[in-house]
Amino acid sequence: MKVSGRKTGSALSHAPGDWYAVDWRRVERNVRGMQIRIAKATREGKWRKVKALQRMLTRTLSAKLYAVRRVTQNQGARTAGVDRELWDTPENRRLAVDRLKRRGYRPLPLRRVFIPKANGKERPLGIPTMHDRAMQALYLLALEPVAESTSDPNSYGFRQNRSTADAMGQLRVCLSRKDSSQWVLEADIKGCFDYINHDWLERNVPMDTAILRKWLKAGLIYKGQLQATEAGTPQGGIISPTLANVTLNGLERELDAHLRAQFGVAKAKKLKINLVRYADDFVITGVSKEILATEVRPWIEAFLAARGLQLSEEKTRITHIDDGFDFLGWNFRKYAGKFLIKPSKKNAQAFYRKVSETISGNKTVKQENLIRLLNPMLRGWAQYHHSVSAKRAYSRMEHLVFQRLWRWSRRRHPQKNSGWVRKKYFHSVGERQWVFAVPLVRADGSKGLLDLYQISGMAIKWHTKIKGEFDPFDPTWEQYGEKLRQGRMWESMRYRKQWAGLYMSQGGHCAHCGTALTEETGWHDHHLEYRMHGGTDALANRVLLHPHCHQQVHAGRIAVTKPVLP
């Protein structure tokens, strides 16, 4: 077994006795090799071969190890299902691998919970057990290559290397020119995850039908009562987003084929029909309101009806670009012919409400703790909007947050005057005045300030959209995908200069296992010489590791060295 990037000669043919002894680099290589073969068979239309390869993949030890690692390293790893079981120890994870078997598998009902939505309503989630999550992750490994190879080019939700920014970039391409479409159909599917027809899924999803049926019919438990699930794929399962994507795949391609058949190739092109979808939200551009209302919308409704879905009457509308429309937290609109994308008012209001609740809910905490709570929120919101025209929204939000923090500061000292409060809680940083900050002593003993993140300091930079044809399981796209991944990781880190420097110095790979660091895998900052042993925070003493590699290094007391790029 391979431990720290060095082979010992044994093949990955049986479950290791120690979870930390798993050779993750070999695991990922084995899984990806099988996925590439599945994708190739899909593109060639060899569906019997696809099925055979999928069955082979779900029975391999590598895939089972990968599935267990995924469900024990993601954000939901501490959330139990109806059996209240968690795989929080290496021993539990090792034993879990042996339990991932098709024969005799019976999923338990989902645990129903509700989480708040931005509009004040609640979104229902179905939480599977850890065992069921791992089984879903296992079969997702076999389904994902097929889903990617058959997806529409402008579908951007829940797909590798695709994001809301890519959907925004495609809409900029479709709407920004003077001769672009002037009308937009804003479509919203009513309860997409709740109403997908089970019979349609069983007939059309290219995976083990018996296993899929068991998940769909598992039922859910709410307030101690077992409820049947006759339709839908409950939000909360690892495989649910991909099932929803498979359901809506063809929306773009089949609409284009319908229009070409109806009007001919030349006239269909002049209609300027473009569909951009993110998960179950999509917009369709068109040259006129009539073509969207009389030709496009009826076809969309028929497409959805075959899958048990329908458009929401209250949220589906046709809008002129001069009036603008909201999509994915942005407002798209032309002002006297100039196309601009800005943070939507609804998005800004929801974010300010969240910040305000955080401040009001921490009236008595130390200023340092409040800053550490707020900074990730402020940075995340600013980064989300940094590829649109957001400078005015940044300044407005910064002003509102300042007012809220001033009230927070004054409330703590009702007997003190404004000058005293300002001197205690606000400082000057360079040319910036009234900065909410607190003095602190750094790890090296030097003194400095911990200041509130400056939203208006976020630079605006246009987003480079992913190529619609990109397939992460096609070897011909390998170089493009690697360059794209590293570029986007750099973008996500570039405002945290130390992490960005470590990432670039390691070539975007984990210093322990040598595989890629991605947004999905996450990363930990590891000190080569532990601080308790006198190690410093200098970059020369730090590397980035995967979270599971970090655990492996500490558990096995493995020495990690600074990688040297060729």
Domain boundary among 394, 425, 457: 457
On whether both 291 and 181 belong to a single domain, the answer is yes
pLDDT, residue 125, reads: 85
Using DSSP bridges, classify how beta strands 281-286 and 274-278 pair: parallel, antiparallel or unpaired. Answer: antiparallel
Burial 22-48 (b: 16+ CB within 10 A, else e): bbbbbbbebbbebbbbbbbbbeeeeee
Residues 367, 399 share a domain: yes
Cα 104 to Cα 115: distance, rounded to the nearest angstrom? 33
pLDDT of residue 14: 57
Do 104 and 185 share a domain, yes or no?
no
How far apart CA 66 and CA 25 sit, in angstroms, is: 11
- How far is it, in rounded angstroms, from Cα 227 to Cα 221? 6
Are 301 and 449 within one domain?
A: no
Write down which residue in 121, 150, 179 finishes a domain.
Answer: 150
Q: Are residues 442 and 488 in the same domain?
A: no
The string of pLDDT tens digits covering residues 309-353 is: 999 998 999 999 999 999 999 999 999 999 999 999 999 999 999
Spatial distance between the Cα atoms of 215 and 209, rounded to a whole number of angstroms = 10
Q: How many CB atoms lie within 10 A of CB 162?
A: 21
Q: Is 373 helix (H, G, I), strand (E, B) or coil?
A: helix
Do 141 and 156 belong together in one domain?
no
Residue 401's pLDDT is what?
A: 98
Does 566 reside within a domain?
Answer: no
One domain for residues 173 and 137? no
Domain of 539, CATH number, reads 1.10.30
**Entry pTM:** 0.88
Statement to judge: residues 333 and 261 lie in one domain: yes
d(CA 65, CA 552): 15
Max CA separation in the chain (angstroms): 79
Q: Compute the distance between CA of residue 492 and CA of residue 520 in angstroms, rounded to an integer.
A: 12
pLDDT tens across the length of the chain (566 residues):
343 333 333 345 555 568 888 888 899 999 999 999 999 999 999 999 999 999 999 999 999 999 999 999 877 788 899 999 999 898 999 999 999 999 999 999 999 888 877 666 778 888 999 999 999 999 999 999 999 999 999 999 999 999 999 999 999 999 999 999 999 999 999 988 889 999 999 999 999 999 999 999 999 998 889 988 888 887 788 999 999 999 999 999 999 999 999 999 999 999 999 999 999 999 999 999 999 999 999 999 999 999 999 999 989 999 999 999 999 999 999 999 999 999 999 999 999 999 999 999 999 999 999 999 999 999 999 999 999 999 999 999 999 999 999 999 999 999 999 999 999 999 998 889 999 999 988 766 778 899 999 999 999 999 999 999 999 999 999 999 989 988 888 777 766 777 888 888 888 889 888 888 887 788 888 988 887 777 777 888 899 998 888 888 888 788 888 876 65
At a CB cut-off of 8 Å and minimum separation 6, what does 417 contact? none
- What pLDDT shows up at residue 16? 59
Give the domain range for residue 489: 475-556
Q: For residue 251, tell me if it sits in a domain.
A: yes
> For residue 236, what pLDDT is reported?
81
Residue at which a domain ends, from 277, 310, 341: 341
Alpha-carbon distance 126 to 227, whole Å? 12
Through-space distance between the first and last CA atoms of the chain, rounded to whole angstroms: 27
One-letter amino acid at 147 equals A
**Beta-bridge partners for 527:** 542
Q: Is residue 404 part of a domain?
A: yes
In a domain, 215, yes or no: no
Q: Output the pLDDT for position 73.
A: 85
Distance (Å, whole) CA 202 – CA 250: 17
- Domain presence at residue 359: yes
- 158 and 269 in a single domain? The answer is yes
Asked if the structure places residue 12 within a domain, the reply is no
Unique residue bearing structure tokens 């750094």: 442
Q: Does 267 share its domain with 175? A: yes
My answer on whether 408 and 388 are in the same domain is yes
Domain count across the chain: 4
Together in a domain, 334 and 391: no
Q: Cα separation of 309 and 161, whole Å?
A: 28
Per-residue pLDDT, 11 = 41
